[in-house]
Amino acid sequence: MSVLEKMKVLTDSAQYDLCDYVNHQKSSQKNLPGIYNATGANGCEVPLFKTLLTNKCKNDCKYCINQSKRNFTRLELEPDLLARVFLDYYNKGLVNGLFLSSGIDSDEDSTMEKTIETIRLLRKNYGYKDYIHLKIVPGASKDSIKRAMSLANRVSINIEAATSSGLAELSSTKDYNKDILKRLSWINAIEKHKSTYPHSTHTTQLIVGANSETDKEILTRMSKIYKKSDLKRTYFSAFSPVEETEFKNKEACDVARTNKLYNADSLLNSYNYNVKELYFDDDDQLDLSTDPKILAARNMDIFPVEINSSSFRELIRVPGIGTKSARKIISIRKKQPFASKEDLRKLGVAVERAEPYIKMKGEFQSNLNNF
């Protein structure tokens, strides 16, 4: 099998690892396998080379294309070959960075040694200084995590589920608290040390819809993690059934659900909401038809808030007002009170969304009962 053919298999095997939330390109291009157009924080597309080092895996994750019980072509690339293949893409201007993950063949530490060696070669032998995102495998040693974080711009470990029982529905070979949450706490502690790669960050990912966990359980877990760590963000991967797995006949997760989880997760992570402020239906699920921020606002008793005197915390709970526009409002009103909604529109406020929840100089901008 040629290197190109091997890369096609390994890059397609990496399709469920996410490094952005709007890209749904699953399979590799035929002649250029592994190019994955991630979406950056500013909305621009960033081409990354995304692959597994190996698709051999001892774990039995019931949703996963690479699970141990599936019968398909198993491959592994040597670290130096993988590094050179990536550099060929990079030097030709095809990609801007590397996103490297791996199945777990024999044991966690040997897997980590090989992925770390790949990025060590890139940094030390080939002088590569651009972006690297490296996946930490569940059960990895603290030493391997520390060495990975000294070389990669970003690392991540997939928590996969929100609860121990939820993970047990997905796999019988992983311990939720020991293999995942403990490693996540190590990553957070190591990130605070100067031994990490400059400006390094960490993220995580969950599979949504493969187990019976509710949106409330998922968001409760993420809220706890955000409060205890410097986790940059969470990625939600909508479950999609794979042939020859135990979940092959299970219904796929509606992408609308993961979209609403992203919306709600942003309220927790960027707006400092509590889970109790969010609205869930009787089954503890988010409403798929309405923005979680609007539903949360409808159930708060703080509105309407006065634009010229409300706190930052109150302003960012107004639909249509983000953190940046809230800061601008506070800065400007110190010199000149706001008198019209057009003044807000100039700051980027989505006035039509905000109107029912605000007042200026004591004058209510709209009637909540008519919203």
Reading phi first (left if > 0) and then psi (alpha if -120 to 50, else beta), residue 93 is in left
Ordered DSSP codes for 327-357 = HHHHHHHTTS---SHHHHHTTT--HHHHGGG
Residues 273 and 240 both lie in one domain: yes
pLDDT in tens, 237-273: 999 999 999 999 999 999 999 999 999 999 999 999 9
**pLDDT band of 36, cuts 50, 70, 90:** confident
The total of structural domains in the chain comes to 2
Average pLDDT over residues 110-137: 97
pLDDT of residue 32: 74
What CATH number has the domain bearing residue 337?
A: 1.10.150
pLDDT at 38 over 50: yes
Q: What is the mean pLDDT of residues 98-112?
A: 95
Confidence check: pLDDT of 318 > 80: yes
**Torsion sign across C-alpha atoms 97, 99, 105, 106:** positive
User: What whole-number distance in Å separates Cα of residue 32 and Cα of residue 3?
Assistant: 12
Answer yes or no: is pLDDT of 24 > 70: no
- Between 26 and 264, name the one with better pLDDT: 264
Residue 40 has pLDDT above 90, yes or no: no
Residue 300's alpha-carbon distances to 31, 276, 282, 311, in angstroms, are: 54, 11, 18, 15
Lowest mean pLDDT among 30-44, 69-83, 93-107, 220-234: 30-44
Q: Decide if pLDDT at 230 tops 50.
A: yes
Does residue 86 surpass a pLDDT of 50? Answer: yes
Is residue 184 domain-shared with residue 110, that is, in the same domain? yes
pLDDT value at 331 more than 60: yes
Mean pLDDT (the chain) is 91
**Which residue segment(s) compose the domain that 73 sits in?**
3-277
User: Would residue 293 count as lying in a domain?
Assistant: no
- pLDDT for 17 equals 65
Q: Does the pLDDT value for residue 310 go beyond 90? A: yes
Query: Could you tell me the pLDDT band of residue 199, with boundaries at 50, 70 and 90?
Result: confident
* Global confidence as pTM: 0.90
pLDDT tens by residue, 141-171 = 999 999 999 999 999 999 999 999 999 999 9
306 shares a domain with 271 = no
Domain boundary residue, one of 243, 277, 311 = 277
- Over range 177-198, report the average pLDDT: 90
What's residue 364's pLDDT?
65
Residues 255, 140: one domain?
A: yes
Question: Do 100 and 203 sit in the same domain of this protein?
Answer: yes
CA 205 to chain centre: 5
Work out the average pLDDT over 182-201.
88
